[in-house]
């Protein structure tokens, strides 16, 4: 019987504001170090692997800046692909039907946590 992976703290809940700055956090994908990010949209936290579905590059144009100017879509700073914040689905641009890779998150006791899974796990040293 396999044991569930423990929740990993990301940040205090108050740091995430609807349509505002996100928080990056270290993860590993199949052992390769990379980053995830969490944002708040319509009151709930959503986390994704920080890789555009169009070309595997980080989305944020300045660290933590994932939303485009209206605060309604996540946007890849490199190619302009836009994504629905609550589903990660491509909403326009060169991502053409692609989707961001979600990372499970939970929020309780004033903090936001992520949950490792079979593909996205803890980065070395965390």
Say which CATH number the domain at 106 has: 2.102.10.10
CA distances from 18 to 74, 106, 120 (A): 12, 16, 25
Q: How many domains, the chain? A: 1
Residue 76 lies in a domain: yes
Q: pLDDT averaged over consecutive 10-residue blocks of the chain (126 residues)?
A: 75 97 96 95 98 90 92 93 96 91 98 95 82
Q: Give the tokens for residue 49.
A: 């692997």
User: Is 14 a domain residue?
Assistant: yes
14 Ramachandran zone, left/alpha/beta (phi>0; psi -120 to 50): alpha
The region that residue 86 occupies, defined by phi over 0 for left and psi between -120 and 50 for alpha, beta otherwise, is alpha
- Tell me the residue range of the domain where 22 lies: 8-121
Quick check: is 108 in a domain? yes
Does 84 map to a domain? yes
Q: What confidence score (pLDDT) does residue 5 get?
A: 67
Is residue 3 assigned to a domain?
no
């Amino acid at each position: 019987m396999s044991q569930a992976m423990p929740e990993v703290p990301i940040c205090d809940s108050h740091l995430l504001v609807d349509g505002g700055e996100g928080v990056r956090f270290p993860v590993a994908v199949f052992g390769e170090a990379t980053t995830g990010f969490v944002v708040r949209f319509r009151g709930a936290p959503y986390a994704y692997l920080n890789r555009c579905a169009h070309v595997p590059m980080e989305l944020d144009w300045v660290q933590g800046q994932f939303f485009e100017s209206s605060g309604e879509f996540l946007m890849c700073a490199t190619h302009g692909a836009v994504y629905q914040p609550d589903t990660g689905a491509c909403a326009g641009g060169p991502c053409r039907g692609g989707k961001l890779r979600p990372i499970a998150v939970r929020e309780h006791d004033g903090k936001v946590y992520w949950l490792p899974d079979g593909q996205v796990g803890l980065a070395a040293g965390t």
